[in-house]
């Protein structure tokens, strides 16, 4: 029986994404270095096999969802990697969040081997992965994206074509740097209001209709109690972790160094998330910077 | 003949605001230290008289629109100031942007004299003042706001009641600090995207539908050419000046010092606007920080 | 019997300073709001009386060592304050660390009353106060300093005349802002070296002979174990507290706002000490920022 | 005739260093991509030959002084590079300032080929290079340093052994990051003092004897007129350029990202030098940040 998709990386994001493809009727072979992750995937209806590269060789589409640039480079460029094993015509989709230049390097090597590749990092978190409501930011050729759409549409609901190879990573990097900056700015503004006796909810409502409005304030308010469903109102559990934001801000600062770009606020945002993580908050939601700006718990 | 309103401060903002009251049919006596401003007001249909305090004594409502805390304190608390001259029952409305604690001080003195006062700073800029589309952020008693509404509604279109005396200033201070932070963050994100080969307009559109979205990006884009009507597309002329943003960020940093609030990003934003101003850009629109982050003009 | 000195403020600094004057043979009347402090002073040989202003009225010299600007202004300018009670010819010496403009205001009021006043803030900490090795940074007229020397020399060993009234405060403010910046920079440099496998002591020695050298690195090394006598080698106890550095950086940032000075690094240093204090480290020595930059204790 | 030294890189630093070896009696073959640099070296008494790798193959010692990591990696690791051409027993000395991990990579490859290599970046600038008063910060084996001493001693006067391979680069990186931070801090402190009416020279003298003292303040004062021989007193010409400091701070920030080190002040210092360079000051001495903090020239 034929395999449509080889899916490499069944972590917190990859597992629900791959299962959504299974539910949509695709034949998916799932792979991960952690056996328990593979077992969960198989329990959910997925297939697997001992040698992931056999699955890649048999697939129409190979999708990767891996932690960082070095894992992606190793998976694609390694001696017995994806580029060495994929058959002609296989579509390659990397959904990992990595450095734009790493994405460009891998895609260039794929093209040299006659393969089509797109970078398609996501936003929306584990909740979006489970609900198939992710946003994909895509870089690569238009025909690659066309071929990828039937798969992406089963895992997410918004797909943006940002430009050539690496452009998906660039847009995600820029978006998340801005998000990190705004989240801290929002925490500062609400803290300042509270210190002057203003109700945080009322303040958020007024700013939300004014020139200070932004996604973090309106949708993901960092002050406990303002939004019942936001991580702030459940002890900053779940959500998008401090260490993940720290990783994304690190990609932005590193990229800025190599492209001679100026990111003073992005750099400070990274420093603040770094100190927050070193203070022990790495696993909390990134809106918990609100806590860091306040007096110590008694 | 009776005078409804004594209006003190006919500068870039005050003049169009006062003229909107005249157009709405109110009898308005306008005053300013600069004779040319008064002449413009009279040419537009307003009244004036030699002694502004006589106008205050005759008015139902006194409105002030002055540059900074010290002018407001002097105008209200001076020996021959507004509090000393207003008759019982006069409503006092300060539309200036000043420090929240200065606003609280003046309002407390007004209450001691048996007068009702609200702080009602605005956002919307000179264009909003001319078009009567300003937003008012109001602090003070609810009955004061009720009495003020008929006047405020002729000068703006949105009115928020933020809380007790000083609350209007607090909300504006928090909003503008956040706006200043977001504007710089937006400039950094777009610069970073461009340095990676992404089209600024496409990048702005995608982020505008994602978690990095904010007012500066969506409504007031700082990259030339992205929005034809934004100051960025006309050489950063007009709009909200660097030095005005610098003043507002100064109010926020000063307030944070006295309230033991933490504003690391707000402080850096102030430092960057300060350096931008010292580099000669004080009169440009505040989105011109985009220029500062780029290579020198050749 | 005549009283030479009225000493107001017998806290951690004031008490040992006043006792050094007693040991030098001066007749000193000591005063503090906390009775236990006065008791310690009397136990050490000092005098006191119920009404501190009687002591001021009887003294040749009045010395103040108080926590902040508002206490100094109140002590000197209050209705029943020092200026109202001091007899003609009394020399006024304020050793508190306060805002330069507050120092100028108080000194101007003293001059109006025909009194000579100098601002003489100190550095050297409680150890320097006990050992009479403080450094005085003095602002005010040269003849005021001449008259003050016999007293200052019993409490410290270095005396710098920085200029007119307020100049002592200005120099201390500038010095301490620079110290705060350098301490954090030194912590960062040593942390960075350690992360690259360099021995902290060797690194400190080499930098100490190179262009990165500074007082914090050479005399007060923030890395535990590098200097046996530094606070870092005794759990950051004693020394100059985080909250005191935070106060001094606050004076600098506030002064920069009012003098239109640019202090981006000073502002960030204040933000970092602020976050360190909010994390619970306010009472530790200010070199403990080294801890904040490291991984959480396990 | 035998060749003692092959010297690659005859730029602003390399040329005077190589000429000092010539003057000391060594037989030195000099090489550079810019013919004019080679001509100057030959005019000064040096030798050269068409193929630099022939010179390397004939030399006892190969010394490199190149702009950045990628040049050093290419020179040593390239197919026809130094490692491929040096004979057994040749000592390799890299005096370039590069990333510590690049230094470690190259040295590891040298060891694999059986060659001894040290990293020996310098401080002291072009003046120190000309006067043979450079400071060398050395990483690598002790016997490598022993063999290198006779050469280094002709080019400099202080030699520090910082540890294993890469340690020289690490120490220089840490030192220069701290220097960059202190220079800006010093500029801020002096600006703040001036704004409060203090004489810059007097202020520098007092701080120079207090806890704010540092090399930049004492030896390289950034305020025009305080030190007649400092770059500040000659329009910020000569000295150590803004773009060189920017490069060194970039190495530090990049290294901090990869070693999970926290450098909030180092990051801001880099951002400020970056903005200063983008404002057109890249070629000025790095103390010119003093100018950036001041009002625009009229």
Does residue C24 sit in the same domain as residue C132? yes
Which of these three, C130, C164, C198, is where a domain ends? C164
Q: Are D147 and D138 in contact (CB under 8 A)?
A: no
Backbone dihedral region for residue D124 (phi beyond 0: left; psi -120 to 50: alpha; all else: beta): left
Long-range contacts of D278-283 (CB under 8 A, 24+ apart): D278/A262, D278/B292, D278/B293, D278/B294, D278/B295, D278/B296, D279/B279, D279/B292, D279/B296, D280/B296, D281/D236, D281/D242, D282/D241, D282/D242, D282/D243, D282/D246, D283/D241, D283/D242, D283/D243
D136-152 burial string, b = 16+ CB within 10 Å, else e? bbbbbbeebbebbeebb
Chain C nearest-CA residue for D196: C170
Distances (CA, A) of C125 to C244, D214, D292: 10, 20, 34
Distances (CA, A) of D256 to A274, C224, D31, D252: 11, 21, 34, 6
Dihedral angle sign, alpha carbons of residues A29, A33, A39, A40:
negative
Does residue D212 sit in the same domain as residue D263? yes
Distances (CA, A) of A173 to B194, B201, B223, D159, D260: 12, 16, 18, 43, 19
Out of C167, C174, C209, closest to residue D192 by CB: C174
Mean per-residue pLDDT of chain D: 96
Which of these three, A132, A148, A164, is where a domain ends? A164
Task: Residue A251: give its domain's CATH number.
Answer: 1.10.1040.10
Catalytic residue among C47, C87, C157, C172: C172
Residue B62 three-state SS = strand
DSSP code, position D124: S
Does residue A158 sit in the same domain as residue A174? no
Task: Residue C15: give its domain's CATH number.
Answer: 3.40.50.720
Q: Are B270 and B180 in contact (CB under 8 A)?
A: yes
Share of chain D above pLDDT 70, in %: 98
Does residue D34 sit in the same domain as residue D154? yes
Which of these three, C104, C139, C164, is where a domain ends? C164
Domain of residue B239, residue span: 170-292
Q: How far apart are CA C55 and CA C63, in angstroms?
A: 11
- Residues of B with Cβ-Cβ distance to D268 under 8 angstroms: 268
Q: How far apart are CA D138 and CA C157, in angstroms?
A: 41
Q: H/E element holding A57?
A: helix A52-58
The pLDDT score that the predictor gives to residue D296 is 61
When pLDDT is cut at 50, 70 and 90, the band that residue B238 belongs to is: confident
The position carrying tokens 């010539």 is D22
In this complex, is the C-beta atom of B163 within 8 Å of any C-beta atom belonging to chain D?
Answer: no
Mean per-residue pLDDT of chain B: 96
Tell whether B298 is covered by a domain.
Answer: no
Tell whether B75 is covered by a domain.
Answer: yes
CB pairs under 8 A between A and C: 25
Q: How far apart are CA A288 and CA A279, in angstroms?
A: 12
CA neighbor of D236 nearest in space, from D289, D175, D190 = D289
- Residues of D with Cβ-Cβ distance to C261 under 8 angstroms: 188, 191-192, 195, 293
Q: How far apart are CA D203 and CA D196, in angstroms?
A: 11
Out of C278, C293, C295, closest to residue A295 by CB: C278
Does residue D158 sit in the same domain as residue D247? no
The complex scores an ipTM of: 0.95
Decide if C257 and B262 are in contact by the 8 Å CB cutoff.
no
In this complex, is the C-beta atom of D275 within 8 Å of any C-beta atom belonging to chain C?
Answer: no
Does residue D18 sit in the same domain as residue D147? yes
DSSP code, position D255: H
A82-95 burial string, b = 16+ CB within 10 Å, else e? bbebbeeebbbbbb
pLDDT under 70: residue ranges of chain C: 1-2, 296-298
Backbone dihedral region for residue A24 (phi beyond 0: left; psi -120 to 50: alpha; all else: beta): alpha
In this complex, is the C-beta atom of A170 within 8 Å of any C-beta atom belonging to chain B?
Answer: yes
Chain C nearest-CA residue for B279: C262
The pLDDT score that the predictor gives to residue D298 is 42
Å between D86 CA and nearest CA of chain B: 40
The position carrying tokens 């600038």 is D125
Residue C154 known to be catalytic: no
CB pairs under 8 A between B and C: 38
Chain B nearest-CA residue for A263: B188
Share of chain D above pLDDT 90, in %: 96
The pLDDT score that the predictor gives to residue C298 is 42
Tell whether C298 is covered by a domain.
Answer: no
D286-296 burial string, b = 16+ CB within 10 Å, else e? bbbbbbbbeee
Chain C nearest-CA residue for A282: C296
When pLDDT is cut at 50, 70 and 90, the band that residue D286 belongs to is: very high
Structural domains in chain D (count) = 2
Decide if B278 and D268 are in contact by the 8 Å CB cutoff.
no
Tell whether A297 is covered by a domain.
Answer: no
| Residue D10: φ, ψ to 5° | -115, 50
- Residues of C with Cβ-Cβ distance to D217 under 8 angstroms: 178
The pLDDT score that the predictor gives to residue B296 is 61
Q: How far apart are CA A86 and CA A127, in angstroms?
A: 31
Does residue A181 sit in the same domain as residue A159? no
Chain C nearest-CA residue for A264: C264
| Cβ contacts of A171 within 8 Å, gap of 6 or more | A137, A139, A160, A162, B193, B198, B203, B206, B207
The pLDDT score that the predictor gives to residue B239 is 86
CA neighbor of D8 nearest in space, from D45, D44, D39, D38 = D38
- Residues of D with Cβ-Cβ distance to A173 under 8 angstroms: none
- Residues of A with Cβ-Cβ distance to C268 under 8 angstroms: 268
Å between B218 CA and nearest CA of chain A: 10
Out of B257, B272, B278, closest to residue C253 by CB: B257
Å between D272 CA and nearest CA of chain B: 9
pLDDT under 70: residue ranges of chain A: 1-2, 296-298
Does residue A103 sit in the same domain as residue A58? yes
- Residues of A with Cβ-Cβ distance to D250 under 8 angstroms: 257
Out of A253, A275, A278, closest to residue D253 by CB: A253
- CA C217-C220-C223 angle, 5° bins: 70
Å between B228 CA and nearest CA of chain D: 26
Structure tokens at B51: 């002694």
Decide if A275 and D257 are in contact by the 8 Å CB cutoff.
no
Residue A161 three-state SS = strand
Q: Are D187 and D281 in contact (CB under 8 A)?
A: no
Neighbours, chain D (3 or more CB pairs < 8 A): A, B, C
Q: H/E element holding C167?
A: helix C167-195
What does the pLDDT look like over D99-121, one tens digit per residue?
Answer: 999 999 999 999 999 999 999 99
Backbone dihedral region for residue B46 (phi beyond 0: left; psi -120 to 50: alpha; all else: beta): beta
Surface of A (90-149) touching B: CB under 8 A? 100, 123, 135, 137
Chain A nearest-CA residue for C293: A275
Test the A interface: residue of B121, B182, B216, B253 with most A CBs within 10 Å: B182
Does residue D127 sit in the same domain as residue D156? yes
The pLDDT score that the predictor gives to residue B1 is 45
Test the B interface: residue of A172, A192, A261 with most B CBs within 10 Å: A192
Out of C280, C292, C296, closest to residue A296 by CB: C280
Decide if D197 and C269 are in contact by the 8 Å CB cutoff.
no
Does residue B130 sit in the same domain as residue B193? no
In this complex, is the C-beta atom of B68 within 8 Å of any C-beta atom belonging to chain C?
Answer: no
In this complex, is the C-beta atom of C293 within 8 Å of any C-beta atom belonging to chain D?
Answer: yes
Out of C192, C203, C261, closest to residue D263 by CB: C192
Mean pLDDT, residues B48-68 taken together: 96
Distances (CA, A) of D207 to C168, C252, D171, D231: 12, 15, 26, 20
Surface of D (225-254) touching A: CB under 8 A? 250, 253-254
Q: How far apart are CA A176 and CA B189, in angstroms?
A: 9
Tell whether D297 is covered by a domain.
Answer: no
Mean pLDDT, residues B8-33 taken together: 97
Tell whether C297 is covered by a domain.
Answer: no
Decide if A254 and D257 are in contact by the 8 Å CB cutoff.
yes
Chain D nearest-CA residue for A276: D262
When pLDDT is cut at 50, 70 and 90, the band that residue D1 belongs to is: very low
What does the pLDDT look like over D37-51, one tens digit per residue?
Answer: 999 999 999 999 999
- Residues of B with Cβ-Cβ distance to D275 under 8 angstroms: 272, 275, 292-293
Tell whether D93 is covered by a domain.
Answer: yes
Tell whether D194 is covered by a domain.
Answer: yes
Does residue A41 sit in the same domain as residue A148? yes
What does the pLDDT look like over B138-178, one tens digit per residue?
Answer: 999 999 999 999 999 999 999 999 999 999 999 999 999 99
Q: How far apart are CA B222 and CA A157, in angstroms?
A: 29
Chain C nearest-CA residue for B243: C260
DSSP code, position B277: I
In this complex, is the C-beta atom of D276 within 8 Å of any C-beta atom belonging to chain A?
Answer: no
Out of A175, A255, A260, closest to residue B211 by CB: A175
| Cβ contacts of B147 within 8 Å, gap of 6 or more | B61, B91, B116
What does the pLDDT look like over A188-240, one tens digit per residue?
Answer: 999 999 999 999 999 999 999 999 999 999 999 999 999 999 999 999 998 89
Q: Are C275 and A275 in contact (CB under 8 A)?
A: yes
CA dihedral B96, B98, B100, B102 (to 10 degrees): -100
Does residue D20 sit in the same domain as residue D159? yes
CB pairs under 8 A between C and D: 245
DSSP output for D224-246:
TTTSTTSGGGGTT-SSSBHHHHH
């Amino acid at each position: 029986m034929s395999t449509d998709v080889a899916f490499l990386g069944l972590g917190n994001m990859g597992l629900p994404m791959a299962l959504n493809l299974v539910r949509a009727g695709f034949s998916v072979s799932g792979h991960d270095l952690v056996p328990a992750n593979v077992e969960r995937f198989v329990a959910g209806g997925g297939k697997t096999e001992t040698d992931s590269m056999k699955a890649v060789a048999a697939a129409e589409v190979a999708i990767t969802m891996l932690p960082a640039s070095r894992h992606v480079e190793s998976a694609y460029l390694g001696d017995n990697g994806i580029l060495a094993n994929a058959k002609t015509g296989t579509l390659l989709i990397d959904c990992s969040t990595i450095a734009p230049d790493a994405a460009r390097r891998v895609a260039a090597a794929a093209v040299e081997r006659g393969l089509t590749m797109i970078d398609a990092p996501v936003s929306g978190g584990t909740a979006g992965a489970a609900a198939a409501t992710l946003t994909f930011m895509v870089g690569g050729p238009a025909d690659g994206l066309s071929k990828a759409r039937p798969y992406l549409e089963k895992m997410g609901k918004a797909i943006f074509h940002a430009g050539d190879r690496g452009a998906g990573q660039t847009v995600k990097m820029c978006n998340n740097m801005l998000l990190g900056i705004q989240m801290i700015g929002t925490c500062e503004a609400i803290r300042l209001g509270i210190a002057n006796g203003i109700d945080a909810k009322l303040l958020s409502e007024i700013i939300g209709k004014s020139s200070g409005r932004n996604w973090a304030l309106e949708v993901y308010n960092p002050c406990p109690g303002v939004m019942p469903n936001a991580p702030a109102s459940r002890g900053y559990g779940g959500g998008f972790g401090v260490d993940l934001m720290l990783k994304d801000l690190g990609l932005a600062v590193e990229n800025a160094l190599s492209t001679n770009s100026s990111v003073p606020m992005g750099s400070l945002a990274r420093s603040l998330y770094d100190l927050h993580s070193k203070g022990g908050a790495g696993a909390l939601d990134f809106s918990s910077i609100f806590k860091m700006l306040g007096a110590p718990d008694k």
